[in-house]
Amino acid sequence: MRKYLSFPEILIFLPILAFSLLLMFKTFQISPDGNLKIATKAWSDFAATIPLIRSFSLGDNFPPEYPLFAGPPIRYHFLFFLFVGFLERIGLRLDWALNIPSAISFFLLTLVIYFLGVKVFKKKSIGILSVVLFLFNGSFSFLEFLKTHPISPNFVNEITKATQFASFGPYDGKIVSAFWSLNIFTNQRHLALAYAAFLLLVFFLYRFTDVNKKFSIKVVVLLSLLIGLFPFIHLAVFGMMLIALGVFFLLYPKARYQIFLIGLFSLAIALPQILYMGKSQITVKFFDPGYLVQNLNLVNFIKYWVLNLGLGVFLAPIGFALVPKKIKKIFFPFLTLFVVGNLFRFSPEVAANHKFFNLFLIGANFFTAFALVSIWDKKIVGKVLVASSIFLLTFSGIIDIFPILNDGYIEISDYRKNQTSQFIIRNSTKDSLILNSSYLYDPASLAGRKIYLGWPYFSWSAGYDTDTRFQMLRSILEAKDKKTACALLTQEGIDYIETSEPTSLEGVQANYSLFEKNFEKIFIDPRLKLNIYDVKVSCVKN
């Protein structure tokens, strides 16, 4: 560690490591009595995360399928969660199995940001400022906070007691996006690792093209492996890596042959993964300019990004103008992400493009930091301007920390204390498919079994045809006779049926009497009015 970090740097990064651990353990824990204790702001996302992990730790999800949409190959990047599942499988408690890799990934991301700033821009102050700007977003969301919390003697206390984000667009109808706060890293635990890998790729490409002027065979192989293995780690960031590779191909004519080889080998490694995941079942409008800008026109576009990027909109171009010519080139991969994210849609949910802009902002922050350091040298006026700018560039991020730290919890009875989950674990094979009675945190999901249709949003956003699947679910549960039900259940490969009365599946009128009279009931929870029926045993009867 001493080889790379000085003692002052260690003093800076030890608190960041502690903060990384706090961030992850604050949002997900196992309670003393064994319940899943999930922060309310992470609860919805974890309804997809926990079943995916459990499909590997308690289930037998090989070859991988999406456990909330069993049947087709998985279309969601799963390797991070496979690793977490492996850790739980060998005995590590789930919160440690998930939080430790998450915290290490987040800490690694801050380290990579710092070293990229130091190595490329040759100043530790730029590395430190870049990390600060990353941790505390520079949007103008604090203006929304001021609308409901005007300046008063109690103002600081109101900030530290905040439980809701000042702006959470587009979900609360406001302009400033929900995707600038650190909430994205507590909810999407695989994200920090993917961003760190992208930054490392950009750094290595820059270093070997602009500094060393050449790639060795070893570097070509290593970078090809880094990119090529990414579809299963993070598919969107894999696409961004290819974009970065293309930009460097254009910027550095002398290195084009080696960059071409990296791209070729990367695609050769990635292609089997992409073919396995398959084509989206949902038609997406590929060219869809504007991202989340409402009533798209030039004025609204500029307004949206000024409010979302804050002073960085003005300072990053100043920094770009001031840096040496060769350093300017490192900005273009990030700028290209901004352009692509504003022009194209790659998934059914356009908000998922936030990943392009998160990485763009990290890149822009290096140039904002360079501008601040340059202005600081302009005597007393420069120092006042920089101090004021840093305040405006971090104030929203400071406010946004407290809703995470002050968040409440929702507790869910985990499989060890859930008698339905316990029954499923003991009496079904690990690769069983269960027609579920609830969308979120179904007992079968907690037990690591694949379910027929979890909360449709998760599967829809991954590219699965949830409308057709829901209609099939209705046809099964609303079947008028056993023959019809059995034919559909067999066709869909379903092993067990869960029913609960009343059902929480909106729009479904389950024919409870059909299953009660004609299917082999193997489990009942009278308290929840939940029954489990064995399809194979039932459907071989007359």
Q: Which of 388, 405, 422 is the last residue of a domain?
A: 405
| Amino acid making up residue 271 | L
Nearest to 163 by CA among 443, 408, 382, 428: 408
Q: Is 1 within a domain?
A: no
SS3 helix, strand, coil % of the chain, rounded to 5? 60, 5, 30
**Dihedral over Cα of 254, 260, 261, 262: its sign:** positive
The tens place of each residue's pLDDT in the chain, 542 residues long, gives 345 678 888 888 999 999 999 999 999 999 999 999 999 999 999 999 999 999 999 999 999 999 999 999 999 999 999 999 999 999 999 999 999 999 999 999 999 999 999 999 999 999 999 999 999 999 999 999 999 999 999 999 999 999 999 999 999 999 999 999 999 999 999 999 999 999 999 999 998 887 666 788 899 999 999 999 999 999 999 999 999 999 999 999 989 999 999 999 999 999 999 999 999 999 999 999 999 999 999 999 999 999 999 999 999 999 999 999 999 999 999 999 999 999 999 999 999 999 999 999 999 999 999 999 999 988 899 999 999 999 999 999 999 999 999 999 999 999 999 999 999 999 999 999 999 999 999 999 999 999 999 999 999 999 999 999 999 999 999 999 999 999 999 999 999 999 999 988 999 999 999 999 999 999 999 988 999 999 999 998 65
The answer on 420 and 389 residing in a single domain is no
Q: Is residue 2, in this structure, part of any structural domain at all?
A: no
Q: Is there a single domain that holds both residue 134 and residue 237?
A: yes
Same domain? For 194 and 148 the reply is yes
* Alpha carbons 173 and 150: distance in angstroms, whole number: 21
Do 476 and 492 touch, CB atoms closer than 8 A?
yes
Shared domain check, 278 and 163: yes
pTM over 0.75: yes
Three-state SS for 122-135 is: CCHHHHHHHHHHHH
Q: Could you tell me the sign of the dihedral formed by the alpha carbons of 415, 418, 419, 424, in that order?
A: negative
Q: Does a structural domain hold residue 470? A: yes
Shared-domain flag, residues 71 and 109? no
| Domain co-membership, 380 together with 429 | no
Please give the pLDDT value at position 377: 85
d(CA 71, CA 298): 45
17 occurs within a structural domain: yes
Do 373 and 283 share a structural domain? Answer: yes
Q: How far is CA 187 from the centre of its chain?
A: 6
Question: In 3-state terms, what secondary structure has residue 173?
Answer: coil
DSSP state of 411: E
CA 74 – CA 62 distance, rounded (Å): 10
> d(Cα 132, Cα 390) in Å, to the nearest integer?
9
What is the sign of the dihedral through the CA atoms of 230, 233, 235 and 240? negative
Shared domain for 138 and 258, answered yes or no, is yes
Kindly state whether residues 368 and 455 are assigned to the same domain. Answer: no
Q: Is residue 422 packed enough to be buried (19+ CB in 10 Å), middle (13-18) or exposed (0-12)?
A: middle
Domain assignment of residue 393, yes or no:
yes
Distance CA 406, CA 423 (A): 36
Q: Are residues 150 and 232 in the same domain?
A: yes
What is the SS3 string spanning 18-56?
HHHHHHHHHHEEECCCCCEEEECCCHHHHHHHHHHHHHH
Are 231 and 113 found together in one domain? yes
> What domain range is 301 assigned to?
7-28+100-405
Domain count, the chain: 2
Gap between the Cα atoms of 66 and 72, Å rounded: 8
Residue finishing a domain among 384, 405, 426: 405
| DSSP code string of 289-327 | TTTT-SS-SHHHHHHHHHHHHTTHHHHHHHHHHHS-HHH
Q: How far apart are CA 368 and CA 392, in angstroms?
A: 13
Residue 481 within any structural domain of the chain: yes
